[in-house]
Amino acid sequence: MAQRDLNFSVPANSGINLAVKGDFIYLKSASADVLVFVNEQAISMSAGDTRNITKYELHKFTDPDTRERVPFLINVGFTDIRIENETGSTITGVMVAGNGGYEKAIALGNVNADLPNSTIGNYSRSNNEQSFSGYFTYAGAAANYSYIQLFNPAASGVTLVVQAARALNYTTAIGTLKLNSYNTELVTGSGTTQNKKVDGAVPKGLIKYERAVGTLGTNWLSAGYLPAINTLYNFIDKNDPIILTAGKGIVIRPGVVNEGIHAQFDWYEV
């Protein structure tokens, strides 16, 4: 798969033509929105926008068994693009164009993008040190609930997209686990976190823990029933993540006091 990064500078109320072949375009950066013409399509694009471009041509091949000519379509993409500037100031930026489709470019690590819940998107995030995991195991205490939290600090500058929140009771209780939102950082201590790219940067998200007599958090998000101790339960469907903006958090606790809990989280940061 071939890819080119094209630096451009378009004067005010003007346009430029770029002779480049491909089947996807990605506006990597731009000082303002631009209008892109490709295959007689007019596409308004902002920095970070992508488009897979399709233009099919009819071809035929010979079936080796029947010797018949069988029609099929090939996406030939485009051979040039035009970038137009409809503002009163010069627009500069970088346009990425390539062959093989935008998702293939991501899989090869050429384009940094967020495609939630796809194998390609997950590879890209891990490769770019955006994906993390964390856990803690917390013993029970008399008359107290044991809480384990994933927290996004107020000054983090990122959003946490939580893909998995798993937990189990490991002492004696067979019953419920509860997941609440709780936007105050727990203070007793910190759990273990790990970048999913080995030796990658540490996350902004924190694993925290604390015990409390009462309920922390009033916004109930999910609950699970465990038929036996040491049964791992996942609160989050992979297609419906929990979003933690800066200053937000979630906590998991057993349904009863004096119960030990193990919790682990998977998330990425954007």
Per-residue model confidence (pLDDT) at position 129? 86
| Model confidence at 73: pLDDT above 70 | no
Q: Which two tokens stand for residue 228?
A: 């036996």
Per-residue model confidence (pLDDT) at position 4? 80
Q: What is the number of H-type helices and E-type strands within the chain?
A: 2, 22
Per-residue model confidence (pLDDT) at position 111? 46
What's the chain's average pLDDT? 83
Neighbours of 121 (CB within 10 A): 18
Give the residue among 122, 124, 141 at the shortest CA–CA distance from 267.
122
Query: What percentage of residues in the chain have a pLDDT greater than 70?
Result: 80
Pairing of strands 206-212, 189-190: antiparallel
Per-residue model confidence (pLDDT) at position 104? 44
The better pLDDT of the pair 183, 77 is held by 183
Per-residue model confidence (pLDDT) at position 249? 96
Q: How far is the C-alpha of 148 from the C-alpha of 179, rounded, in Å?
A: 10
User: Residue 66's pLDDT band (boundaries 50, 70, 90)?
Assistant: confident
Largest CA distance in the chain: 80
Q: Which two tokens stand for residue 14?
A: 């003007």
**Per-residue pLDDT reduced to its tens digit, 81-109:** 999 999 999 999 999 887 765 544 444 44
Q: How far is the C-alpha of 264 from the C-alpha of 137, rounded, in Å?
A: 9
Q: Give me the domains of the chain, ranges plus CATH numbers.
A: 3-113 (2.60.120), 131-269 (2.60.120)
Per-residue model confidence (pLDDT) at position 116? 40
User: Residue 41's pLDDT band (boundaries 50, 70, 90)?
Assistant: confident
Residue 185: strand, helix, or coil: coil
**Per-residue pLDDT reduced to its tens digit, 137-193:** 999 999 999 999 999 999 999 899 898 999 988 887 667 888 999 999 999 999 999
Per-residue model confidence (pLDDT) at position 96? 86
Phi, psi of 215 (to 5 degrees): -85, 130
The better pLDDT of the pair 27, 56 is held by 27
Per-residue model confidence (pLDDT) at position 13? 93
Per-residue model confidence (pLDDT) at position 110? 46
Q: What is the pTM of this model?
A: 0.58
Per-residue model confidence (pLDDT) at position 239? 56
User: Residue 132's pLDDT band (boundaries 50, 70, 90)?
Assistant: very high
User: Residue 234's pLDDT band (boundaries 50, 70, 90)?
Assistant: confident
Q: What is the mean pLDDT of residues 106-129?
A: 54
User: Residue 236's pLDDT band (boundaries 50, 70, 90)?
Assistant: confident
